Amino acid sequence: MFRPAPRASGYLHTGYGEDIALLQTRTERASLAVFAILLAVFPFLASPFALDLACQVFLASVGALSLMLLTGYAGQISLGHAGLIAAGAFTTGILAREISAPFWITLPASALTGIVLGFIFGLPSLRLRGLYLAVSTLALHFVVIYLGGEYETKRGFSTGIVVDPPRFAGMKLTDGRAWYFVLLAAAVVSLLICVNLLRSRSGRAWQALHVRETVAEALGISVARYKLLAFVISSSMTSVAGCLFAYYRGFVSIEAFDLFLSIQYVAMIIVGGMGSLLGALLGAAFITVFPYLIEALLRLLPNVQKLAGEIFAVNYAAFGLVMILFLIFEPLGLVGIWHRLQNYFLLWPFRYKPLAGARK
């Protein structure tokens, strides 16, 4: 579904329909069905804490998928992802607060903000590459955060903006389980958008200009157009994630969108595995759950009281350490491990050793 997975034997297609189907084998369909049932049953069995964690994972997935589209496929580095999420969240917060706009206005408005900002964030990419592009997105992040902070202080919401829960057909959306399904739907929809975009002309164009811009241009791909398109699509998705974040938390404050959040999103696609949508999902889950995992591990240690105040610092250090370990020892990320596992069981009992120096 995400990339040609290793398979035991060839599957022959007899029609175009089969060729473009998302799920091609019976195993894929069956495992997806099992996974869907698990996801549907989960909220009725899980504790409120686990439910909240799952919601956070879904929210992070939307952001990570859109960043993967931009960085992993189109090859445009962005360190300003938190700025875009902030833009979506603030659009929602401001509209809901100032003109008490309903859900169906703030969501498209956030997407629109994302489109405009994506265009602005993307403009430097026409001239700059690599490091310089990363730096320009970093600078734009600070500008967006400044504008948000300015609004907060000028309007007197110095602690943050309270956002009322959205209403659907006269009903307020406050229940954890309802939120679970809303955010799950958001994550699934963004996944489908990404999968289908990548199979289309624009997806192929992005991958081409990622590998070599000059060749892409020679093949008739308008490099400027597709770079801007990548930025626009990615940041509108990110802003929608920001909008959902604002409603889910019920509160928007500039402190939540610091540079660390941008780095967390970049860490998601690095830890998950560059150039793979599955990687974005795995990375989002891993990075979101990671701090809670560390906290749980700390509780196992004997003198908990002493460490209780420093959990934040431990989290910080552990996060940096894990990121370094992945960058050095597993550049392919979680998805690389997953593919190696798949290969191992597929070829068992025979072992296939890649040639020395082969990348994958």
Partner 1 sequence: MTRLHHPLPAEEEGDRSCSTSGIALQLVVNIIVLGSIYALIACGYVLIYRVSRVLNLAHGELMMLGAYLLLATASLFNGHPAIALAAAVLLSLLAGALVYVFLMRKMTGEMVLAAILTTVALGILIRGAVLLIWSAQQQYPAQALGVANPSFSLFGGARISFWSAVLVAITIAVYGALFGFLRFGRWGMRMRAAGQNPLLAAQRGINLHGVYALAWCLSTLTGAFAGILMALDSGLTSSMPIIGLKAFPAALVGGLDSLAGALAGALIVAGAEVLLIYYVDPLLSDVVPFLVLIAMLVVRPWGLFGTREELDRV
The footprint of partner 1 (CB under 8 A) covers: 71, 77, 124, 127-132, 134-136, 138-140, 142-143, 145-146, 149-150, 153, 259-260, 263, 266-267, 270, 310, 312-321, 323-324, 327-328, 331
CA 47 to chain centroid: 25
For residues 180 and 54, is the Cβ–Cβ distance under 8 A?
Answer: yes
Indicate the residue among 106 and 262 with the shorter CB distance to partner 1. 262
Helix locations, the chain, DSSP H: 16-20, 26-45, 48-67, 81-98, 103-122, 130-155, 176-199, 201-211, 213-218, 223-249, 259-272, 277-300, 304-308, 311-329, 333-347
Q: How far is the CB of 147 from partner 1 (least distance, A)?
A: 9
Please state, in angstroms and rounded to a whole number, the distance separating the CA atoms of residues 66 and 5: 22
> Do 83 and 145 meet the contact criterion of CB atoms below 8 Å apart?
yes
Compute the least distance from the CB of residue 37 to partner 1, in Å. 37
Nearer to partner 1, 1 or 135 (CB): 135
* Complex with partner 1: residue 6 or 130, whichever CB lies closer: 130
Tell me whether residue 243 or residue 269 sits nearer to partner 1 (CB atom). 269
Tell me the three state secondary structure of residue 134.
helix
Q: What is the closest distance, in whole angstroms, from the C-beta atom of residue 77 to partner 1 in the complex?
A: 5
Q: Are 202 and 226 in contact (CB under 8 A)?
A: yes
* Half-sphere CA count of 357, side-chain side, radius 13 A: 0
At CA 97, angle to CA 94 and CA 103, rounded to 5? Answer: 85
Q: Which is nearer to partner 1, 52 or 217 (CB)?
A: 217
Closest contact distance (angstroms) between CB of 121 and partner 1 is 11
Q: Smallest gap, in angstroms, from Cβ of residue 288 to partner 1?
A: 16
Nearer to partner 1, 43 or 148 (CB): 148
Whole-number minimum distance, CB 43 to partner 1, in Å? 33
